[in-house]
Structure 1
Amino acid sequence: MGKLIEEFRRGWQGISQPSPLFSIAFAICCIALSTLARWSLSLIRPDIFFTPYVPAVVFATAFGGSRIGIATALVGGALGVGLNFSDTSTDFARVALLVIFLAVCAVTVWGIEHYRSVAARQRAIAKRLTEEEEYRKLIVDELQHRLKNKLSAVHAVLHQVLYDQPKVWATIDQRLRSLAATDDLIARVDGIGCDIKDLLLSELGPYGHVRFTLNGEPLFLPAKLAVSLALIFHELATNAGKYGAFASARGLLQVSWSVSDDRLNIVWDETEGPPVGPVGEAGFGTKLLNSALRPFDGKTEIAFLKTGVHCTMQCRIPKD
């Protein structure tokens, strides 16, 4: 019984084509119910011959296809002409109603079959896209795994080479750990998103928690926006570690954020860092800062002040 129910469910939802025997049995049930409905209506209106069979044609076609629908229409028409529940006889009017009934059924069967074909194509496309997405995730996971192994190998090699230079190693070790944390975070937020504070802690943690302060209410970021901000924060933190607040023993960083309507405002403010020298041509990092938030109707403005780098970020928070 459960197998029959499952076959009916899959056939009704269009997941798979039911067997011919099951489709015929379903059509017979529809005709039987329509005949019962016609008998009930004959107690009130004995001149109703074909109308109750229209739903049977609709359901039989939707479930079993055009051939089953056509057969149902022909059987319904034959019952409407030959089966009487009163003393009325077959006349020209009933024949005319039969022609109208068959015409309506023909249009109905054509429309439902067209919808079935369109739905089948859409299901095939959806299935292919799902398979491609699963394959993409598999490839991305494999790539991330290999990159992580390569980064671990680079980390180990540099540790051996710089074993006698602890100061140099300490600086490189922080950057490698920060880069690995960012890579893991981007891989993690690609599917679900994360809180902005967790995003900043992941990126800034290797520099020491006493070197920065975070001000703002808890805010969950959608995955795509979280990835973009992770790239921006990584670039700013890397710059701070090389030339900014984290490159000075007294340097401090303050990051604050607020939300107004659906707009996110972030301020990155460095102080007590080394003096800012002349700024050269825009490199990859600057281009990244200028373009990463454009998909979210946002922008990034960076100023190299005497007190340190001051960067403001504004963007729209996607609802989905």
Structure 2
Amino acid sequence: MEKLIDEFRKGWQGAAPPSLGLSIAFAVACLLVATLARWGLAQVRPDVYFTPYFPAVFFAAAFGGFRIGIVTAIVGGVLGVVVNFSDALADRARFALLALYWAVSALTIWGVEHYRTMLAEQRRISKRLIEEEDYRKLLVDELQHRLKNKLSTVHAVIHQVLHDQPQVWARVDPRLRSLAATDDLISRIDKAGCDIRDLLISELGPYGHVRFTLNGDRLFLPAKLAVTLSLMFHELATNAGKYGAFSAPRGLLQVSWTVSDDRLTITWDETEGPTVDKVSEPGFGTKLLKSALSAFDGRTEISYLKTGLHCIMQCRIPQGESR
């Protein structure tokens, strides 16, 4: 009995086609209920012959498919003509109503079958998307695992090379560990988000905590915005290490942020770095910085001052994701 109920539930929900026997039994039940309803209506209106069978056709087609719906429509029409609950005999008017009944039933069956086809296609697409999402998660987890292994290998190789140079190793080791921590943070914020201060410390930590200052209240960033900003901070920090404040002995960085309503403004100020004489053509990093915040109704302004790079990032904080 439990198996039969489960099969009926799956068939009604469209998760799996019901068996032929169950479909026929359901159609018979619908016809019996419709006939009982017709008998009840006959106590008031004896000339109601086919109307109660429309719901039977609809439910039978929705459950068992268009073939079961057609059979139900035919049997319902025959019952409407043959079975009488009054002294009235079948006449031309009843046969005219029979033709109209079958025409409307045909439209009903077509509509139900069209809906069933659309529902089946939607389920197929949803299943495929779920499988692709599961595969993507598996692939990302595998790539993160391999990245950790490679970073650990690089860490071990450099440690072996610099084994006799403890002073150099003391400067390299914390940076490698901080880079690993940043990768872990990005993998976590992709699901939950994080605080902007933790994100900045993770990105800027490899360059030394005395080289930068952070000004702003605690602010939790939703996952998508946090991932976007982490990419931008990484690009800015990398450029600062190559060409900007972090490439000079006395170079400093100050990052500040403010929130007004749902708008976030982040200011990135570098000082005491090399003087920028000529700005090259925009590369991938610059294009990333310029376009990354467009999804959050934001923009990025970059200025190359004599004191160093000055960058202002503005965007909207998505509502309903923060905590």
Q: Distance in 1 between matches of 2:173 and 2:287?
A: 26
Query: SS of the counterpart of 1:72?
Result: helix
After TM superposition, give the deviation of residue 261 of structure 1 in Å. Answer: 4.8
Q: Hey, what does 1:105 align to over in structure 2?
A: 105
Q: Cα 1:204–1:75, aligned 2, differ >3 Å: closer, same or farther?
A: same
Q: Hey, what does 2:221 align to over in structure 1?
A: 220
Please provide the CA RMSD for this pair.
2.6
Q: Cα 1:241–1:164, aligned 2, differ >3 Å: closer, same or farther?
A: farther
Q: Hey, what does 1:278 align to over in structure 2?
A: 277
Q: Distance in 2 between matches of 1:116 and 1:193?
A: 40
The question of whether the paired residues in 2 share the 8 Å contact of 1:81 and 1:94 is answered with: yes
The question of whether the paired residues in 2 share the 8 Å contact of 1:174 and 1:207 is answered with: no
The question of whether the paired residues in 2 share the 8 Å contact of 1:23 and 1:64 is answered with: yes
Moved more, 201-210 or 102-111: 201-210
After TM superposition, give the deviation of residue 68 of structure 1 in Å. Answer: 0.8
Q: Hey, what does 2:60 align to over in structure 1?
A: 60
After TM superposition, give the deviation of residue 94 of structure 1 in Å. Answer: 1.1
Moved more, 185-194 or 153-162: 185-194
Identity over aligned pairs, percent: 67
Deviations 1:77-106 (A, max 9, x none): 111111122222211111111110011101
Q: Cα 1:156–1:114, aligned 2, differ >3 Å: closer, same or farther?
A: same
Query: SS of the counterpart of 1:276?
Result: coil
Query: SS of the counterpart of 2:191?
Result: coil
After TM superposition, give the deviation of residue 204 of structure 1 in Å. Answer: 3.0
Mapped pair 1:42 → 2:49? no
After TM superposition, give the deviation of residue 141 of structure 1 in Å. Answer: 1.5
Instruction: Write out aligned runs for 1:51-200 (5 A).
Output: 51-200=51-200
The question of whether the paired residues in 2 share the 8 Å contact of 1:196 and 1:221 is answered with: no
Q: Distance in 2 between matches of 1:303 and 1:63?
A: 66
The question of whether the paired residues in 2 share the 8 Å contact of 1:247 and 1:274 is answered with: yes
Q: Hey, what does 2:269 align to over in structure 1?
A: 269
1:40 alignment partner AA: G
Q: Cα 1:77–1:206, aligned 2, differ >3 Å: closer, same or farther?
A: same
Matched residues, number: 318
Q: Distance in 2 between matches of 1:21 and 1:173?
A: 72
Which segments of 5 or more consecutive residues in structure 2 lack a partner in the other structure? none
Deviations 1:150-191 (A, max 9, x none): 111011111111223334334433432333233223322333
1:105 alignment partner AA: S
Q: Cα 1:181–1:253, aligned 2, differ >3 Å: closer, same or farther?
A: same
After TM superposition, give the deviation of residue 58 of structure 1 in Å. Answer: 0.7
Q: Distance in 1 between matches of 2:79 and 2:171?
A: 90
Moved more, 281-290 or 84-93: 281-290
After TM superposition, give the deviation of residue 45 of structure 1 in Å. Answer: 1.5
Instruction: Write out aligned runs for 1:8-19 (5 A).
Output: 8-19=8-19
Q: Distance in 1 between matches of 2:21 and 2:244?
A: 77
After TM superposition, give the deviation of residue 41 of structure 1 in Å. Answer: 1.6
After TM superposition, give the deviation of residue 16 of structure 1 in Å. Answer: 0.9
Deviations 1:103-125 (A, max 9, x none): 11011111111221122122112
The question of whether the paired residues in 2 share the 8 Å contact of 1:11 and 1:18 is answered with: yes
1:290 alignment partner AA: K
Which segments of 5 or more consecutive residues in structure 1 lack a partner in the other structure? none
Moved more, 34-43 or 168-177: 168-177
Moved more, 273-282 or 10-19: 273-282
Q: Distance in 2 between matches of 1:308 and 1:134?
A: 45
1:54 alignment partner AA: F
Moved more, 229-238 or 201-210: 201-210
Deviations 1:39-63 (A, max 9, x none): 2222221211111110111111111
Query: SS of the counterpart of 1:301?
Result: strand
Query: SS of the counterpart of 2:301?
Result: strand
Q: Distance in 2 between matches of 1:259 and 1:61?
A: 57
1:3 alignment partner AA: K
The question of whether the paired residues in 1 share the 8 Å contact of 2:246 and 2:273 is answered with: no
The question of whether the paired residues in 1 share the 8 Å contact of 2:200 and 2:233 is answered with: yes
Q: Distance in 2 between matches of 1:21 and 1:49?
A: 28
Give TM-score, length-normalised by structure 1: 0.88
Q: Cα 1:195–1:27, aligned 2, differ >3 Å: closer, same or farther?
A: farther
Q: Cα 1:284–1:167, aligned 2, differ >3 Å: closer, same or farther?
A: farther
Q: Hey, what does 1:3 align to over in structure 2?
A: 3
Q: Cα 1:143–1:34, aligned 2, differ >3 Å: closer, same or farther?
A: same
